[in-house]
Structure 1
Amino acid sequence: MQIDISIPDQTLRLLDATGQLRAQYPVSTALNGPGELKDSGCTPRGQHVVRARIGEGAEVGTVFRGRRPTGEIWSPALAAAHPQRDWILTRILWLSGCERGINRLGAVDSMQRYIYIHGTPDSEPMGVAQSHGCIRMRNADVIDLFEQVPVGTVVHIHA
């Protein structure tokens, strides 16, 4: 399996070993566009791998902070109580860059930037760049993807 993420198209495609399309999902990448620098709020480009899978078996809408469940389940009332939160929900695929000086090590390290593919409230639009750098997905879609990809899955992000 491999994952192909198109920033211009705001899509994530899951491909099998032969390159055949297994699934396609709408996503939301960074409002600030593509970029690799730490603290840029941009989505990093290039080749990555899934370094960690977090949240297996968690309830839909489980809220994560620091890659740990908070004990909360997202709801409109919770969102209203915390309007500034960048919601990381349901599942996390933590990405690690593979290209030294582009998305790995130093000021461009995707893993140290905490770049994830993760769930977001279903009320958030997909197909529109609005994240703080991560790749956001609908909760049902991130669960579907999560169940199909192991640690080590190659992820290509391109603009």
Structure 2
Amino acid sequence: MSFDDQTIRRPSRRAFVLGSVGVMGLAVSACSTAATRTVVISDPAEARQFALMYGPMPDEQFPIPGIEIDKVPPRFRRQRVDFDTAEKPGTIIVNTNTFYLHLVEPGGKAMRYGVGLGRAGFDWSGRARVGWKRPWPTWTPPSEMIARQPELEIYSAKNGGMQPGLNNPLGARALYIFQNNKDTLYRIHGTPEYWTIGKAVSSGCVRMINQDVIDLYTRVPPKAPILVI
């Protein structure tokens, strides 16, 4: 597994992990080592909405920059949608075919988010629950991962893991997925690599734009049920 992967302790299956970066007014600037580009949003209403959802979050423990609007297709941006399901409100449904995460709401609605998935993540489906939630979590690679990538030993449990921050693979928030009261090592979490949303990346769990995982974090009730299909 790669840097942001986690291994599930079930029949030799691996986890699937989730993403983030700038919007200011009507223009979006890149926040990376690449050359800065400016993308102009022609619809002022769309620009305002996008800036509210995906603009900078300076009040976070680690200030989060806004993201580039052209890097996230409209269908993968956060939105409330009609959603017909027998699952009860508060349930998280991850669809590995559509790259959507739905949080079921009352009245036939759901909050829908785009997600990115590690290719290994397509091997798992089923029911689970949110074991716990953490803001700005520490990341600890499993021993199997360290065995393949010895350079990650510095982030082992005995060394305290990787401390929280913008470069931490778990991003701004993490929901820890439990099944039968055991940690599966699957995570729903943020990532600074927001351009991977809607894609199958080389490794990882269920990754979300940092702004989206913060929004989801505030909405998800304790021990929320999870369905992965």
- TM-score (normalizing by structure 1): 0.66
2:122 partner amino acid: P
Aligned pairs, number? 121
Q: Provide the rounded CA distance (Å) in 1 between the counterparts of 2:216 and 2:175.
A: 9
C-alpha deviations, 1:115-152, integer Å up to 9, x for none? 00000114441111116341000000000000001221
Structure 1 segments unaligned to the other structure (5+ residues): 36-43, 75-85, 99-103
Mark the runs of 5 or more structure 2 residues left unpaired by the alignment: 1-89, 142-160
- Do the aligned residues in 1 keep the contact of 2:165 with 2:171 (CA within 8 Å)? no
Instruction: In structure 2, give the amino acid aligned to 1:70.
Output: Q
Alignment partner of 1:70 out of 163, 168, 181: 163
Specify the code of the residue in structure 2 equivalent to 1:93. Answer: L
Structure 2 Cα separation of the partners of residues 131 and 20 of structure 1 = 35
Q: Is the 8 A contact 2:194 2:208 kept in 1?
A: no
The structure with the larger Rg is 2
| Offset from partner CA, 1:47-81 (integer Å, 9 cap, x none) | 110001011xx4xxxx731397615433xxxxxxx
Question: 2: CA distance between counterparts of 1:71 and 1:150?
Answer: 23
Query: How far apart in 1 are the matches of 2:202 and 2:224?
Result: 22
The 10-residue stretch of structure 1 (1-10 or 128-137) with the greater mean CA deviation from structure 2: 128-137
Matched residues in 2 for 1:7 and 1:32: separation? Answer: 11
1:7 counterpart residue number:
96
- Counterpart of 2:111 in 1: which secondary structure? strand
2:128 paired with 1:48: yes
Higher relative contact order (CA 8 A, sep 6+): 1
Give the root-mean-square deviation of aligned CA atoms: 2.5
After superposition, what is the alpha-carbon deviation per residue over 1:76-121, rounded to whole angstroms, capped at 9, x for unaligned? xxxxxxxxxx8211000000125xxxxx8xxxx6x24x10000011
Between the aligned residues of both structures, percent identity stands at 26
Of Structure 1 and Structure 2, the greater strand share is in 1
Residue identity in the other structure for 1:26: G
Higher helix share: 2
Match of 2:116 among 12, 21, 28: 28
Distance 1:72 1:3, change over 3 A: closer
Partner of 2:158: none
Structure 1 match to 2:198:
127
